[in-house]
Structure 1
Amino acid sequence: MRYLIRDRMFAFHEEAWIETEHREKLYKVNRRFLRLRTTFDFVDTHGEKVASITKKAFTLHHTILVKQDGAVVARISKRAFRIFSDRFKVRLRDGRRLRIVGNLWDHEFDIQHRGTTLAHISRRWFTIRDAYAVDVLSPEDSTLLVVLAVCVDHIIQDRKGEQLTNL
């Protein structure tokens, strides 16, 4: 299944929709600001919260928690000081460990478990300027994989902003 995600969706005033390849709206991403954290809620078309993403503040590594029904189902982290590669590690509640590898800056990366690709994220399939696709190859984890793609996008946008302020 292919999903469409707009990558500049985290502007202060915006809400964004995640759609199927047939333009059917599935989830709305709402952004809430907290004092020490930034939280995003995934809400379905009926207004029910499906998941929330919370960026932890004051950590040496970029760390984001994914919660469903109040419980942490995934922890995604990236070392702040990686020299040779750009990789994320994901620990799931069920004990699985996923890796996110590829060209993250151009949104061409895979979410893998033990060398098997569960999802491929790519900007090249869409001509819409600020959009990219998430091709989910593991349908039982489709919502979680889309949420992880949004987490990576959020961390990339944060890092781009940090680099611009350091210039």
Structure 2
Amino acid sequence: MRYLVRDRMLAFHEEAWVENEHREKLFKVNRKLLRLRTTFDLVDTRGNQVARITKKVLTLHHTILIKQDGQAVGLISKRAFRLFGDRFKVRLRDGRQLRIAGNLWDREFDIRHGGNTLAHISRRWFTIRDAYAVDVMNERDATLLIIVAVCVDHILEDRKGERFTNL
């Protein structure tokens, strides 16, 4: 099933909507700034929290913790320096380790496990700035895969901003 993530940028608040292929809104990603840690809340259309995503600030690697129902379900980290191997490391509570592979510069990448593609993330077909598709192959893990895609996209945006502010 295809999901669409549309970002809306505001002065002190950032939000994104996740829609299904029929353009029905499913989740809202609220980013809360002005905190020691950057947090995102994924909420459904009724305002119920589905997940909390917390970015740890003072770390060598970008590290994001995903919690559902108050329990950690995943950890995503981006290696600051990489000669070989994957740039992102995704560990889930159930023991699975996911791979993020593809063209990260153009935001065309897959989320994989054990040689199988679980989701494909693409900005290719969208003329709208800050919109991308998440094609999920297994609906059972759809919410978690959408969260991972949002986290990876956020880390890539942060890194892009850091390059320009350090000039």
TM range (shorter): over 0.9
Counterpart position of 1:133: 133
Q: What is residue 89 of structure 1 aligned with on the other side?
A: 89
Whole-angstrom distance in 2 between the partners of 1:105 and 1:85: 16
Task: Give the superposed CA RMSD.
Answer: 1.8
Distance 1:146 1:132 in 2: 11
Report the CA distance between 1:10 and its aligned residue: 7.8
Mapping 1:1-167, distance limit 5 Å = 1-7=1-7, 9=9, 12-33=12-33, 35-83=35-83, 87-167=87-167
CA distance 1:162–1:10, change in 2 (3 Å): farther
2:91 maps to a residue whose letter is R
Letter in 2 for 1:37: R
Shift of 1:34: 5.4
Contact 2:19 2:27 in 1 (8 A): yes
Q: Give runs of ≥4 in structure 1 deviating > 6 Å.
A: none
Instruction: After superposition, give the CA deviation of every residue in 1:67-122 in whole Å (9 maximum; x if it has no partner).
Output: 00011100001101124676211100000110111111211000000111000001
Runs of 5+ consecutive residues of structure 1 not aligned to the other structure? none
Deviation track 1:31-89 (CA, whole Å, cap 9, x = no partner) reads 12353210000000111000111001211111100100011100001101124676211
Shift of 1:133: 0.3
Give the unaligned 5+ runs of structure 2: none
Give the AA of the match of 1:30: N
| 1:31–1:108 CA distance, 2 compared to 1 (3 A) | same
Percent identity between the two aligned chains = 77
3-state DSSP of counterpart to 2:145: helix
Amino acid at match of 1:149: A
SS of aligned partner of 2:125: coil
How far did residue 165 of structure 1 move? 0.8
Per the normalisation by structure 2, the TM-score is: 0.92
* Structure 1 residues 104 and 11: alpha-carbon distance in aligned structure 2, compared to 1, 3 A threshold: farther
Q: Distance in 1 between matches of 2:43 and 2:90?
A: 22
Distance between the aligned counterparts of 2:34 and 2:129, measured in 1? 30
